Amino acid sequence: MFFLALYLASTGDGGHKPCIQTFVADQFDEEMVEEKKSKNSFFNLWYMGIVVGSTVPVFLVPSLQVNFYLFYRR
């Protein structure tokens, strides 16, 4: 399970994320002010999602491990 998680994380970080960002960036027209603002908003939300998605498991997984360990130890 550990190695499967590592393979999925490396595939997502190395192959999927850069392609999606480029495809989305091509959808916006740089000449139009409104679309330029939308593009900036998209990338702000995109990177916020990446940071939140990588930060939450750091705190969630250890707490789940402790709780399940205490639950099954009884």
Alpha carbon separation from 22 to 15, 26, 43, 53 (Å, rounded): 12, 6, 11, 20
What is the tens place of the pLDDT at every residue in 41-57?
Answer: 999 998 899 899 889 98
Read off the pTM. 0.62
Q: For residues 9-15, give the mean pLDDT.
A: 75
Query: Does residue 19 have a pLDDT over 70?
Result: yes
